[in-house]
Amino acid sequence: MSLELKPIVRFLLLPGEVECIDKYEVEGLYGVCITPNREYLIYDKILAERGLGELEKSVQDLLRSVITRGERELSRIIERADLTVKHILERQFFGYGVVEPFMLDDNVIDVHILSNKPIRITHRRHGELDTRIILSEEELKELVLRLSTLAGKVISEATPLASFIEPRYETRVSVVYYSDVTLRRGLTVDIRKQPKRPWSILKLIDVKTLTPEEVAFLWLVVKYKIPVMIVGEMMSGKTTLATAILNLIPPKSKVITIEDTPEIRLCTPYWTRTTTRESLENPVTVFSLLRVAVRLSVDYVVVGEVRGEEARDWAQAILLGHGAVTTFHADSPQSALLRLTTPPISVNPQALRMLNVFVKMIPFRREVSLERRAEIYVYDEEKLIPLYTYDPVKDMVIRNPSVEGPIRKFSFFKRASLAHGISIEDLEREYECMNKIISEIYSEAKSRDPSLDKPDICELSDLLYRRLHEAGFY
Ligand SMILES: Nc1ncnc2c1ncn2[C@@H]1O[C@H](COP(=O)(O)OP(=O)(O)O)[C@@H](O)[C@H]1O
Ligand SMILES: [Mg+2]
């Protein structure tokens, strides 16, 4: 038994002397170089450091021990192999081959693959880039089969269209398979990636998406179960923000999430995570999941994205007093409200009186990188009032000067104060305290780890509530 290494390394050779406008490592396993002519070059560090001969020797040694000790030992042997060799074997036997490095690089947000064309990716900082990696039709078919088998999906010439969640990285994969549909001229695969670690609210402050003051406001709002709707266009960062603010809820809250693609990640141990099921015989829809959700005694009912008529049941859930954070594809809170209350959705406007806080995502391009800013609007007594607005000239989010003391001013805080048995004065004091805690924790974390990977969302949630309790708030 021998392992053909050529197909593994064919695409991942060290590019030699090339100029890079950006250069970084991925998990200690790969080197990435972005060239001035917008190419994304990725190479195996192990190959660069030890050469193909060395690698081949390590791999052959490993395989020899598999042969002498039997196949059943394979996983144990791989377990003991050194990190890079292990990764290459895993990549080949269990993983996605040459696509694996793209899965590991958190800067890659979309991978677009057509057979016999260089793979194209979308990079977080550099936008769309070419690669030098080309998969033949056969190779791409094999990759699709591997992805779909793991997801328990059948893809064939007879069923050539599919969109599913691949379970290893929980990413959405969409496929147009080789068939009469593609005029038998190849196949297309698109992988929409998710970050390996969800962004914390500190990271969103750091990239200037939210100000610490906005975060404190949202913290108070979600803690007191006031529903929040995040609006924006596709890819504007709605789900990322929803995940970050959902991790500001009290750590022991009971939550159910309802999504098509499992994107939201939470730290609370009492988390019922559900996704819809596309199936002709036994479909499970957002609608049917919502019906069950309102019967569970949960604190928060989270619908990842509200789209259609199920919005009526979602509005029912918030009327019943569940906390809610949800996203909605619309360019502004005004148009979200209009779409929600007119056909085909037609939510009774009365049912929306509990929907009091909107966040509006503003995506824009600065050179090639995509930036986002978040505005906050308040919907109180059927009036939409901007609370934090973005000034593109100063590149700053500013608080609406005509709203002083938001707690006293908006009637929904009165509702929250009654529901939670806490006075308006105490709510105000808590809001002050939250403001202070957020700014302090941000500066402390930034000086300890400038990348802000630490504290992660779970550590942060614990830390925030610990500080809040120390200050006397429960
Ligand atoms: N505040 C942000 N700043 C920079 N990039 C972001 C930000 N929020 C999200 N992104 C990136 O943009 C992409 C789309 O984000 P996502 O939250 O899924 O958007 P949406 O839900 O609006 O479609 C993701 O790759 C994400 O990592
Ligand atoms: Mg989304």
The upper half-sphere exposure of residue 16, i.e. CA atoms within 13 Å in the direction of its Cβ, equals: 0
pLDDT-based confidence at residue 164 (cuts at 50, 70, 90): confident
User: For the residues 428-442, what does the mean pLDDT come to?
Assistant: 97
CA distance 386 to 380: 11
- pLDDT at position 6 is 47
Q: How far is the CA of 240 from the centre of ligand 1 (A)?
A: 6
Question: Does 442 lie in the same domain as 301?
Answer: yes
Query: Among 240, 264, 367, 373, which residue has the most ligand 1 atoms within 8 Å of its CB, making it the best to mutate?
Result: 240
The domain boundary residue, chosen from 47, 63, 94: 94
Does ligand 1 come within 6 angstroms of the Cβ of 235? yes
The residues, any chain, with a CB within 8 Å of residue 345's CB and separated by 6 or more, are: 308, 309, 311, 312, 339
Q: Report the pLDDT value the prediction gives residue 428, as an integer from 0 to 100.
A: 96
Cβ 363 under 6 angstroms from ligand 1: no
**Residue 69 shares a structural domain with residue 154:** no
Q: Ligand 2: distance of its center to the CA of 370 in Å?
A: 16
CATH number for the domain spanning 427: value is 3.40.50.300
Range of the structural domain that residue 34 is part of: 1-94
Nearest CA residue ID for atom 8, ligand 1: 237
Of 140, 162, 195, which one is at a domain's C-terminal end?
A: 195
Q: Relative to the CA of 361, which ligand 1 atom is closest? A: 22
Question: Nearest residue CA, atom 27 of ligand 1?
Answer: 195
Which ligand 1 atom sits nearest the alpha carbon of residue 263? 18
Q: Is 106 in the pocket of ligand 1 (CB under 6 A)?
A: no
Domains identified in the chain, total number? 3
Concatenated DSSP letters of 162-230? EEEEETTTTEEEEEE-SSGGGTTS--EEEEE---SSPPPHHHHHHTTSS-HHHHHHHHHHHHTT--EEE
Q: How confident is the model at residue 13 (pLDDT cuts 50, 70, 90)?
A: low
Ligand number nearest CA of 372 is: 1
Determine contact, residues 218/228, Cβ cutoff 8 Å: yes
Q: Which of 360, 277, 345, 283 is nearest to 308 (CA)?
A: 345
Please check whether residues 220 and 350 belong to one and the same domain: yes
Question: Is residue 50 pLDDT above 80, yes or no?
Answer: no
Q: How does pLDDT run across 207-251, given as a tens digit for each residue? A: 999 999 999 999 999 999 999 999 999 989 999 999 999 999 999
| CATH number, domain containing residue 165 | 3.30.450.370
Whole-Å CA distances, 114 to 11, 97, 175, 405: 16, 16, 10, 55
Helix (H) / strand (E) containing 399: strand 396-399
What number does the ligand 1 atom closest to the CA of 194 have? Answer: 25
Beta carbon of 204 within 6 Å of any ligand 1 atom: yes
Helix (H) or strand (E) holding 131: strand 127-134
Residues 6+ apart with CB under 8 A from 280: none
Q: Do 135 and 274 have their domain in common?
A: no
Protein residue whose Cα sits closest to atom 23 of ligand 1: 235
Candidate from 67-76, 177-186, 189-198, 398-407 with smallest mean pLDDT: 67-76
262 CB near ligand 1 (under 6 Å): no
Angle at 16 between CA 10 and CA 18, to 5 degrees: 120
Q: Assess whether pLDDT exceeds 70 at residue 3.
A: no
CA distance 269 to 274: 15
CB atoms within 10 A of CB 109: 17
**64 and 127 assigned to the same domain:** no
**Is residue 89 very low, low, confident or very high in pLDDT (cuts 50, 70, 90)?**
confident
The four Cα atoms 409, 412, 415, 416 give a dihedral, to 10 degrees, of -100
Same domain, 305 and 335: yes
pLDDT of 1 above 70 = no
| Same domain as 230, residue 131 | no
Tell me, yes or no, whether 224 and 143 share the same domain: no
Token digits for 215?
């975060």
Ligand 1 atom with the smallest distance to the CA of 242 is 17
pLDDT for 15 equals: 55
Q: Does 83 share its domain with 137?
A: no
Q: Does residue 428 sit in the same domain as residue 333?
A: yes
Q: How far is the CA of 235 from the centre of ligand 2 (A)?
A: 7
Q: In angstroms, how far is CA 390 from the centroid of its own chain? A: 24
User: Mean pLDDT, the chain, as a whole number?
Assistant: 89
Q: What's the gap in Å between 435 CA and the centre of ligand 2? A: 28
Q: For the CA atoms of 93, 95, 98, 102, what is the dihedral angle to 10 degrees?
A: -160
Q: What is the mean pLDDT of residues 416-423?
A: 95
- Domain limit, last residue, from 94, 121, 154: 94
Same domain membership, residue 393 and residue 291: yes
pLDDT exceeds 50 at position 112: yes
Please indicate whether residue 237, judged by its CB atom, sits closer than 6 Å to ligand 1: yes
- The protein residue with its alpha carbon nearest to ligand 1, atom 10, reads 237
Predicted pLDDT at 107: 94
- Which residues touch 213 (CB under 8 Å, ≥6 apart)? 388, 399, 435
Q: Are residues 113 and 32 in the same domain?
A: no
Give the mutation target among 235, 246, 361 for probing the ligand 1 site: most ligand atoms within 8 A of CB: 235
* Ligand 1 close to Cβ of residue 195 (< 6 A): yes
